[in-house]
Amino acid sequence: MGVAGAEGVVGAGTRSRWFRRYPATDGSVRLRLVGFPHAGGTATLFHGWAARLPRGVELLATQYPGRQERLAEPCAASMTELADRITDALEDLLGPGLGAPLALFGHSLGSAVAYEVARRLDERHGIVPERVVVSGRGAPHIERGGTLHLLDDESLIASARGLGDLGSAVYDDPDLRPLLLPSLRGDFRLIESYRPVEPAPLRAPVTAVGGVDDPGCSLADLLSWRPLTTSTYEHRVFPGDHFYLVPHEAELLTYLNQRW
């Protein structure tokens, strides 16, 4: 099972590097929540969630390649590659049938990842997540690529900071910058090249959430997810910018905990 620490428990399988695992508080798992971070983000985004989740909910915080303990690995080259590998990793970690029901939460880039993983779970196994929560990003069919990944370093950092300040001071450190920028640029390249022509609706309920002052995701963007479910859809806007979910973590989870 690995070693329990401040960052969670890492499973022992060959692909266990994909997840930081926070066991359910009472040891009995009725639901597994899989979290997918933003571009340039890490599994640490979800570190505070475990203590706020209801009894019986286990948290799997996804760690994309190219950062922190996976720094030596190249970033995924495409959304197809990333979603395929994450779905493979879930299968390896949880075994046939994936055990307890799943819920998925993705923020920004992670919203698209959550959508694509949900599709693969249904296509491969007929598994429909209990809920897919998308945060801070419009639906795949309305997003129109971009060229941020082609910017020089200073312009790329400035663009990222324009969405909100979540630990962006680390990019000012000359020792850390060359370690962190490749994953930020690689993630932007991945999401800006992600252009599904006709995204299929999910069978899972979809909840769209965002910050009222997010310059990159409007209420209309959140509403764009409505056609991408054949089940129920709802949305909620919280105070804050693109990274509203950090200062308003308690409020967000109070809302979501009523839904799983």
Coil, helix or strand at residue 65: coil
Catalytic residue among 108, 111, 168, 224: 108
Output the pTM of the full model. Answer: 0.91
Which position has the token pair 């640490």? 44
Q: What is the mean pLDDT of residues 35-63?
A: 96
CA distances from 60 to 10, 21, 79, 90 (A): 9, 5, 20, 10
Closest CA to 194 of 134, 141, 118: 141
Q: What is the mean pLDDT of residues 87-106?
A: 93
pLDDT at 11: 41
Helices (H), 95-223: 109-125, 153-163, 177-192, 219-223
Told to judge if 38 belongs to the known catalytic residues of this protein, a careful annotator would answer no
pLDDT at 77: 95
Mean pLDDT score across all residues of the chain: 89
**12: pLDDT confidence band, cut at 50, 70 and 90?**
very low
- What does the alpha-carbon distance between residue 135 and residue 211 come to, in Å, rounded to a whole number? 9
Q: Which residue has the higher pLDDT, 138 or 14?
A: 138
Taking 90 as the threshold, does the pLDDT of residue 170 lie above it? no
**167: pLDDT confidence band, cut at 50, 70 and 90?**
low
Tell me if 129 sits within 8 A of 117, measured CB to CB: no
190-235 pLDDT per residue, tens: 999 998 878 899 999 999 999 999 999 999 999 999 999 999 999 9
Question: For the residues of 20-62, what is the DSSP string, one character each?
Answer: EEE--TTS--SEEEEEE--TT--GGGGTTTGGGSPTTEEEEEE
- Each residue of 111-129: b (16+ CB within 10 Å) or e? bbbbbbbbbbbbeeeebbb
Sign of CA dihedral 94, 99, 91, 143: negative
Structural class in CATH, domain 16-256: alpha beta
The total of other beta-carbon atoms located within 10 Å of residue 191's CB is 24
Told to judge if 235 belongs to the known catalytic residues of this protein, a careful annotator would answer no
CA distances from 24 to 9, 183, 201 (A): 11, 30, 30
State both tokens at 232.
Answer: 């129920």
pLDDT at 72: 95
Helix (H) or strand (E) holding 251: helix 249-256
